[in-house]
Structure 1
Amino acid sequence: MSINKKYVLAGVVASSIMLHTGISTVFADTEYRVITGDSVNFRSGAGTNYSSIGKLNKGDKIEYLGESGSWVKARYSGKTGYVYGSYVGEYTSTNTKYVTATTLNVRSGAGTNYSIIGSLSKGTKVEVISTTNGWSKIKYNGSTGYVSSKYLSSSSTTSSTTIKYVTATTLNVRSGAGTNYSIIGSLSKGTKVEVISTTNGWSKIKYNGSTGYVSSQYLSSSASDNSTSTSTSVSKVISYAKKLLGKPYVWGAEGPSSFDCSGFTYYVFKNAANINLPRVSKDQSNYGTYVKKSDLREGDLIFFDTSGENDGNVSHVGIYLGNNQFIHCSSSKGQVVISEMSSYYTKAYVNARRVL
């Protein structure tokens, strides 16, 4: 074999080795880093004298290509450039965490001095992009946000909800925990709901793919809180009472075309539940079983002192409907109406009795 042929053969072997080496490099895992500063320059060369070809923000993931002195060579969005090393940190791949706080604020930056851009409820699953100084950058509403890392857990055991059942005929779902918040929907009796948390008599629930709030007193752990007969009687009383909405107030009247306040309750209970109440509100307030205001249920009779400053003397009566509402024949409105337990009626409230 001639010397030239030996060199040619050696070149082929060397090329083959390099080819295999190149293939192994192509299939090697790509290495990433993460940007740790805000609005960091992505420069065309390794120095501040080079022009900026773009800006990188905290949490941005860059492909690590090497280093040149204090500068990191990287690829981002199809561009190759350099980032000052002090603004580059180790990249941790996105991992799933679960919210452990009842309500966790999502902020625009990593600190309580940043504005709140939203919130997450207990048990919500989040994707964490990076974690720095006790704050986690997460994917949020198609973008990113920051939450305190101490309220995130790797385990989903903290995200469990409690199953409850609606005991009211109709239960309003509100946008917040209070009757001053707007009604965003309603639930019928027996509906199964997932309760996320409970605070000050209000339950935060899963509702229509989002969340809402309902009064906790109308939720039960049992699918049949009251006996069937009682539930049926309550439904009949309320349904019958609502059919009389708009009937005029006439003092001393007890139906069927007009009523005073106690005449209305007397007429409804007699015809809907075959219960003969005393005729006047003061006597009705001593009939049946005493009920604490915090334990009010649909169908309960509620009594007020509307004769001036509340000194406990009953002068008005209505039927509680749930959700802080009651139906009554109002002398001031001149007809049968449904009213909220507003500040006026709250101050005038005397007691309640259960007859069903």
Structure 2
Amino acid sequence: MKKVIVPGVFFAALSAPVLIQEAQAASNAAVVKYVNVESNSSLNVRKSASSKAGVVTTLKKGKEVTVLSESNGWAKITVDGKTGYVSSDYLTEKTSTYVKYVSIDSNSTLNVRTSPNTSSSVVTKIAANTKVEVLSDSNGWSKIKVNGKQGYVASKYLSDTVSTVKESTPKADATPKVSTKETKTETMYVNVDQGSSLNMRNKPSNSGSVIVKLAKGVEVTAYSDSNGWTKVKVYGKEGYVATKYLSKTKSATSVTDKTNTNSSSGTVAKTTTKYVNVDKNSTLNMRASASTSGSVVTKL
């Protein structure tokens, strides 16, 4: 008897293992999910599928993760270049939205961009404490919805609560907010001991760096004062000085040689009034240290 091989059956026998492998591969395909915990809590990513395993990192609500596999209530994930395990109960396939507030300086605005990078175009600009709906959070960027528009902002500029903001230097990826209101100014004068000087700093704090030192009687333009500090402009520079050393009237000064207290440091030093003696079309450099290599504070 001759053996007869039916081609169709032979093909089916060869194909079956291939189809099974494809089905298994499909079931192990990575999927994107989102962290679903309370907005004020975080989810631990552990080294192994056990609540006793060490923590690799923690994830906030709405964080986007890639799920590699799931088994016995644990999901193996990758996030921000790290791999670990989280409880499957705290992952969802749909984005769980939540509310946050823009946390930037009051004189700045936060750029909402078309994609999660600083080179993408700006969709809109939002002010401090603006309420936004966070759709997802990944790699330091949050996808948000605000005023009917969607886009991406740097996650570090979002907060769970409304914050008290002060005027200062704009943060990264934030642009200065131009005010249409006219700023009220006032002319004031430095009121320190004769021979002393007043430090004008780059921020309203004793830890701020000194921009320039102001002598008694120097006229300044005062913009605003808060918490014992006044924002002023003098010699074309802006900064902050202690309010208590400003006066609305210019006090009389006299040329004397006496011991005075320096208002900026509290130290006692013998001072003498002298005058700059350079050519009429020249200036004298005042430096940060007693060296020609010291940085120039101002020109006299």
TM range (shorter): 0.3 to 0.5
* TM-score (structure 1 length as normaliser): 0.37
* TM-score (structure 2 length as normaliser): 0.42
More helix by share: 1
Structure number with greater Rg is: 1
The structure showing larger relative contact order (alpha-carbon pairs under 8 Å, at least 6 residues apart) is: 2
More strand by share: 2
